[in-house]
């Protein structure tokens, strides 16, 4: 009897683990899904036509990719801890470097918004900007498990 129970136990244990491993992880963040949802939300909220979306999103993503790099540099500078014997001038130079990167990001944004306005009407670019902000707020609420106020109205 024991010889039959042990192999059955092992078999069920292995099958249970296989079943568990086959299921997609819950709550896993997927950047591709995030971008797909962001794009569909912006298209819907800003009423972009397929042609406008095709012209708008490559510029939009290029801007965000470049800003992501600048924001990473800013984050690294903020995390940097200067030696204990650092002077106020050292800290001032660090702050100047961070501000220079923020200005670079704002200038980059200006250049890319001008490109977007050439590809799509300015009204729709503005609506897309607003839609992006709404999308990010909703995602933050979703990740923090807070109710979405727009659905309560």
CA 148, chain centre distance (Å): 19
Q: What is the reported pLDDT for 152? A: 58
CA-CA distance, 134 to 144, in Å (whole number)? 15
Q: What is the reported pLDDT for 28? A: 76
Query: pTM score, two decimals?
Result: 0.72
Digit-by-digit pLDDT tens for the chain (153 residues) are: 666 676 666 655 655 666 555 555 566 778 889 899 999 999 999 999 999 999 999 999 999 999 999 999 999 999 988 888 889 999 999 999 999 999 999 999 999 999 999 999 999 999 999 999 999 999 888 878 766 666 555
CA-CA distance, 53 to 43, in Å (whole number)? 7
- Written in H, E and C, the secondary structure of 13-48 is HHHHHHHHHHCCCCCCCCHHHHHHHHHHHHHHHHCC
User: Crossing angle, helix 50-79 and helix 31-46, to 10 degrees?
Assistant: 130
Residue 25, judged by CB atoms within 10 A of its CB (0-12, 13-18, 19+), counts as exposed
Nearest to 37 by CA among 142, 118, 114, 115: 142
Q: Where are the domains positioned within the chain?
A: 43-79+87-146
């Amino acid at each position: 009897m024991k010889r039959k129970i042990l192999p059955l136990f092992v078999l069920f244990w292995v099958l249970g683990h296989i079943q568990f491993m086959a299921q997609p992880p819950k709550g896993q963040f997927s950047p591709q899904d995030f971008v797909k949802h962001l794009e569909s939300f912006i298209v819907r909220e800003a009423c972009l036509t397929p042609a406008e979306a095709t012209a708008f999103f490559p510029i939009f993503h290029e801007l965000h990719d470049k800003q992501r790099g600048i924001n990473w540099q800013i984050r690294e500078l903020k995390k940097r801890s200067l030696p204990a014997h650092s002077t106020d001038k050292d800290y001032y130079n660090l702050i100047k470097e961070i501000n220079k990167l923020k200005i670079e990001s704002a200038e980059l944004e200006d250049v890319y918004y001008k490109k977007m306005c050439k590809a799509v009407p300015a009204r729709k670019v503005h609506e897309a900007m607003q839609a992006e902000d709404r999308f990010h707020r909703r995602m933050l609420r979703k990740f923090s498990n807070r109710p979405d106020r727009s659905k309560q109205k």
